[in-house]
Structure 1
Amino acid sequence: MEYGPDDQVERDAPTAPFQQLAAILRARIERGDWQPDRAIPGENALADEYDLSRPTVRRSIAVLAEAGLVYAVPGRGTYVAKQKPEGQTPSE
């Protein structure tokens, strides 16, 4: 199932809530809700907005970090990574 930037997490969906949230946040990043090198909302804010626990939000953010979409700055928060143009390899 595909999730858009304005979707909500569905508790009865076959996809795990952390995967749904990761897809929603990815869509929001792709839409430009948060610009590169700008912070996304904190774990508490996202947990409140999507009615999820902080560990679920943390797991979603970890999925985005593994995909290279966000990065963490200790003591500061999580920021949107600069995106590489389509088709560009990491060495370019």
Structure 2
Amino acid sequence: MTIDREGPTPPYRQIADILRRRISDGSIPVGRRIPSLVELEQDYGVARDTLRKAVQVLKDEGLVETVIGMGVFVVAQPKED
């Protein structure tokens, strides 16, 4: 996927949306590491600060967590009743 740099949605939000979709459709399953900043930088051609902001959005939503020295991993979501 490409990032629309001219669109109304900031690039970090677009990347967060892409990663969120990959998590929700199972492309990145629970317990799996999301791509590293280096991998994301190569995929989307954006600055690492932009990628850090995208990952922070997912952390704030409770979708991922950092495991020190290992990366950022998808966490299980509570079941909705």
TM-score (norm 1): 0.82
Letter in 2 for 1:27: R
| Aligned residues: CA RMSD | 1.1
Unpaired segments ≥5 residues, structure 2: none
Larger radius of gyration: 1
The percentage of aligned residue pairs carrying the same residue is: 38
Pick from 62, 66, 78: which aligns with 1:68? 62
Unpaired segments ≥5 residues, structure 1: 1-6, 88-92
Residue 48 (structure 2) aligns with: 54
Residue 43 (structure 1) aligns with: 37
Q: State the alpha-carbon separation in 2 of the partners of residues 51 and 86 from structure 1.
A: 36
Do residues 18 (structure 1) and 15 (structure 2) align?
Answer: no
Q: State the alpha-carbon separation in 2 of the partners of residues 17 and 55 from structure 1.
A: 11
Higher relative contact order (CA 8 A, sep 6+): 2
Report SS of the residue matched to 1:19: helix
Do residues 85 (structure 1) and 79 (structure 2) align?
Answer: yes
Pick from 8, 24, 34: which aligns with 2:28? 34
TM-score (norm 2): 0.93
Report SS of the residue matched to 1:71: strand
Q: State the alpha-carbon separation in 2 of the partners of residues 13 and 86 from structure 1.
A: 34
